Amino acid sequence: MGAAILPDLGTEILIPVCAVIGIAFALFQWLLVSKVKLSAVRDASPNAAAKNGYNDYLIEEEEGINDHNVVVKCAEIQNAISEGATSFLFTEYKYVGIFMVAFAILIFLFLGSVEGFSTSPQACSYDKTKTCKPALATAIFSTVSFLLGGVTSLVSGFLGMKIATYANARTTLEARKGVGKAFITAFRSGAVMGFLLAANGLLVLYIAINLFKIYYGDDWGGLFEAITGYGLGGSSMALFGRVGGGIYTKAADVGADLVGKVERNIPEDDPRNPAVIADNVGDNVGDIAGMGSDLFGSYAESSCAALVVASISSFGLNHELTAMLYPLIVSSVGILVCLLTTLFATDFFEIKAVKEIEPALKKQLVISTVLMTIGVAVVSFVALPTSFTIFNFGVQKDVKSWQLFLCVAVGLWAGLIIGFVTEYYTSNAYSPVQDVADSCRTGAATNVIFGLALGYKSVIIPIFAIAISIFVSFTFAAMYGIAVAALGMLSTIATGLAIDAYGPISDNAGGIAEMAGMSHRIRERTDALDAAGNTTAAIGKGFAIGSAALVSLALFGAFVSRASITTVDVLTPKVFIGLIVGAMLPYWFSAMTMKSVGSAALKMVEEVRRQFNTIPGLMEGTAKPDYATCVKISTDASIKEMIPPGALVMLTPLVVGILFGVETLSGVLAGSLVSGVQIAISASNTGGAWDNAKKYIEAGASEHARSLGPKGSDCHKAAVIGDTIGDPLKDTSGPSLNILIKLMAVESLVFAPFFATHGGLLFKIF
């Protein structure tokens, strides 16, 4: 067995230090972005000629546009978007607050009632001979960790929105100096979001563990059972972020497009459109706050799932702190690796031309994965005893440290493969999207059929990648292996988020350029950044879905252990009906979220029409539209429409657990996982492909593309129909499915003791 090379003290320093480094690096990036002044005065001071050429030649001077006026307008629009974003978030936080309190009480009551709120020590569930802290303690501490997870996710989401709405106008201004400058500003801002989230998530979890240890002392099983609330808190926020945010994004987008582009024939991002600010806010709400909360949820859950299983394995039983905190050490090293990787994009190399953007982003993926593989090897060598045992459904399983390294590595590389396959099927640099664009020749119908078929086909390799990583990690280290494989996929979360957040910032930058009446050449640069952003958004979603699948399986395993079931036999009626109903839930959920977008969009369409019909001079541009009301309507509608799908997710585990019991609930979790992951991947890729097929035709960068164009041609109209259909698939119902499969799993884990004792009422009656 032997002890880990890294002493406990080393661990207790390494983790917080890495977290703090991450936060510092984020703030430093924010500082660099802030150097882009949102004022017209040219910075004549000597040090202004910084290496990055903040004094380069401006497009405006070429085109003789009044520089001062343009910058003031940019600042105004940015302010409006920032206010819109804040008003959305604060309205959402009101509802989140109510939900958090209600759900916290529910957790406390359910878990407290497991032993009738007794305060006397109880026999540990995993080992009857030992005494553990009373169920009441688990209830209290689970509730506390639930609130902690929720608040940390909210704070990270808020900061992410702040930096995004701080950087968008600055990216526009930098675009005047060239696409490279704009890219660095957008990418640095994305990095702020990524590092803040990763570092916050790690730091708060680490602090919570240490605080809980004061009470729990050596009862690590109880401690880490209570910690699981942290994952539930994170995922609950993702419900608001992904589902609520996803509906908001599309309601604003459809509201703006249907009335603006279709009825009033004014271009996208035209300042006269009352919904334009809500639309730009939407880009941030969906892809920044939504994606951030989603990945935070996965990150928190995979850490908690690993810690729970570790606490009842040899690490926990022998109180080996370093080995116990192996998941956190992996994440800590992940922050350092991502920091190094980011420098490649912002400092070591500089982007000169548009066609270098996508390769630069892809390099980020490869570099971070390669470096991280080395990092994980080092961590596995120093932080783990050469061999140890892992709890495996009632029995301890022998595992070697190199095996655990392989578990993390296989998750990491599966993430990369999913990223590249997603890119292949959504980027218009490759044939699948070009074929979809070509199918527009025979109209919208063939475009839709080809798009759906592409989405289905894009599922094949990612599923094999997930299956292989499951098989390797499951075989080597049972549920612990799965949890650390998920963690491996998420270990480069900072870079993943930076790449992902960079897209909406560029999208906004383009919108601001349009609204501020800047030269159309600026818009071309930001559009190029945005197109690359589309692909990276799809890659980010690939990561999110891949890690959601692994995390759900890890949580599912942890749930089964906690509910003390040893086998989940498909050939029993209770499990099979769970499996087939579970496989149906993603369809029910998708039907709800798609309808929610429809209803919320309708309210926006009515408001935008009302303003156009009632505000005199709006079309002529002499009067200003009432942006704030549109933001409010879209916010209220999205939160109201979020309730039915949200209820389906939150109530299913409770209803199934209580009425049918833990076997059926296991079937439901397994069924919804294997079915949900397919729809999530295909919906996101289909939507991404349609979006980029339209952009392919609009950009007309190749002979083939020009033969399908230009903008307004029949082919283009067919492509726009595909894009409009794809929007809710890729921004709302597809990504929200991650939440369905994760949140049901983590909720089942937290309530497992309750279901095990009181569940299955129906079968007890009949």
- Is residue 717 marked as binding? no
Q: Which amino acid is at 290?
A: G
Question: Least distance to a second copy from the beta carbon of 600, Å?
Answer: 13
| CA–CA separation, 415 and 405 (whole Å) | 16
By CB under 8 A, is residue 588 in contact with a second copy? Answer: yes
Give the footprint of a second copy on residues 379-398 (CB under 8 A).
393
Residue 257 labelled as part of a binding site:
yes
Question: What DSSP assignment string belongs to 676-692?
Answer: HHHHHHHHHHHHHHHHH
Q: Which residues within the stretch 671-690 sit at the binding site for a second copy (CB under 8 A)?
A: 671, 673-675, 677-678, 682
Q: Which is nearer to a second copy, 379 or 679 (CB)?
A: 679
Return the number of the residue (187 or 476) whose C-beta is nearest a second copy. Answer: 476
Q: How far is the CB of 725 from a second copy (least distance, A)?
A: 5
The nearest distance, CB 204 to a second copy, in angstroms, is: 31
Q: How far apart are CA 605 and CA 612, in angstroms?
A: 11
Pick from 205, 237, 490, 579 the residue near a second copy by CB under 8 A. Answer: 579
Options 575, 633, 642, 658; binder of a second copy; rule CB under 8 A = 575
Q: Which residues of 692-701 are buried (b: 16+ CB within 10 A; e: fewer)?
A: bbbbbbbbeb
Contact flag: residue 666 with a second copy (CB under 8 A): yes
250 is in an annotated binding site: yes
Tell me the Cα Rg of the chain.
26
Of the ranges 522-530, 570-578, 633-641, 734-742, which one interacts with a second copy (CB under 8 A)? 570-578
Which amino acid belongs to residue 398?
Answer: D
Contact 545, 688 (CB under 8 A): no
> Looking at residue 116, what DSSP letter applies?
T
Can residue 419 be called a binding residue for a second copy (CB under 8 A)? no
Query: Known binder of ligand: residue 507?
Result: yes
> 184-243: which residues touch a second copy (CB under 8 A)?
none
Of 24, 98, 570, 651, the residue at the interface with a second copy (CB under 8 A) is: 570
Query: Is 270 annotated as belonging to a binding site?
Result: no
431 binds a second copy (CB under 8 A): no
Here the contacts of 455-460 (C-beta below 8 Å, separation 24 or greater) are 455/425, 455/681, 455/682, 455/683, 455/685, 455/686, 455/689, 456/682, 457/425, 457/432, 458/421, 458/422, 458/425, 458/426, 458/432, 458/681, 458/682, 458/685, 458/686, 458/689, 459/678, 459/681, 459/682, 459/685
Q: Interface residues for a second copy in 307-326 (CB under 8 A)? A: none
What x-and-dash track marks residues 438-477 binding a second copy by CB under 8 A?
-x--xxxxx-xxx-xxx-xx-xx--xx-xxx-xx--xx--
Dist CA 691 CA 426 (whole Å): 8
Number of Cβ within 10 Å of residue 182's Cβ equals 30
Q: Are 95 and 294 in contact (CB under 8 A)?
A: no
Rounded least distance, CB 500 to a second copy, Å: 25
Residue 121 tokens read as: 């020590």
Binding of a second copy by 377 (CB under 8 A): no
3-state SS record for 444-467: HHHHHHHHHHHHHHCCHHHHHHHH
Phi, psi of 554 (to 5 degrees): -65, -45
The annotation status of 727 as a binding-site residue, yes or no, is yes
What's the burial of 613, exposed, middle or buried (CB within 10 Å: 0-12/13-18/19+)? exposed
Q: Using the rule CB under 8 A, which residue among 553, 650, 654, 743 binds a second copy?
A: 553
52 is in an annotated binding site: no
Q: Mind spelling out the 3-state secondary structure of 176-218? A: CCCHHHHHHHHHHHHHHHHHHHHHHHHHHHHHHHHHHHHHHCC
Nearer CB in complex with a second copy: 318/446:
446
Residue 258 interacts with a second copy (CB under 8 A): yes or no: yes
Under the binding rule (CB under 8 A), the answer on residue 344 touching a second copy is: no
CB 394, min distance to a second copy, A = 11
Nearest-angstrom CA–CA distance, 554 and 465: 16
Q: Which CB atom, from 90 or from 464, has the smaller least distance to a second copy? A: 464
Measured from the CB of residue 245, what is the shortest distance to a second copy in angstroms? 19
Q: How far apart are CA 692 and CA 363, in angstroms?
A: 21
Contact 238, 293 (CB under 8 A): yes
Collect all residues with Cβ–Cβ distance below 8 Å to 374 and sequence separation of at least 6.
none
Q: Which of 434, 526, 724, 748 binds a second copy (CB under 8 A)?
A: 724
Closest separation in Å from C-beta 699 to a second copy: 21
Closest to a second copy by CB, 104 or 597: 597
Is residue 135 helix, strand or coil?
Answer: helix
CA–CA separation, 360 vs 381, rounded Å?
32
Smallest distance from a second copy to CB 456, Å: 4
Subset of 595-654 contacting a second copy (CB under 8 A) = 595, 597-598, 605
Q: Interface with a second copy by CB under 8 A: which range of 344-352, 394-402, 566-574, 650-658?
A: 566-574
Q: Does 728 contact a second copy by CB under 8 A?
A: yes
Min dist. Cβ of residue 31 to a second copy (A): 44
> Contact region for a second copy (CB under 8 A) — 324-332, 376-384, 537-545, 665-673?
665-673
560 counts as binding a second copy under rule CB under 8 A: yes
Cα–Cα dist 89/83, whole Å = 10
Cα distance between residue 489 and residue 81, in whole Å = 33
Shortest gap between Cβ of 677 and a second copy (angstroms)?
7
Q: Report the distance separating Cα 522 and Cα 506, nearest Å.
A: 11
Q: How far is the CB of 710 from a second copy (least distance, A)?
A: 21
Q: What is the smallest separation between the CB atom of 439 and a second copy, expressed in angstroms?
A: 8
Q: Is 218 annotated as a binding residue?
A: no
**Using rule CB under 8 A, residue 79 touches a second copy:** no
Binding residue ranges = 250, 253, 257, 283, 507, 534, 691, 727, 730
Annotated binding site for substrate: 250, 730
Q: Which residues are annotated as a binding site for Mg(2+)?
A: 253, 257, 283, 507, 534, 691, 727
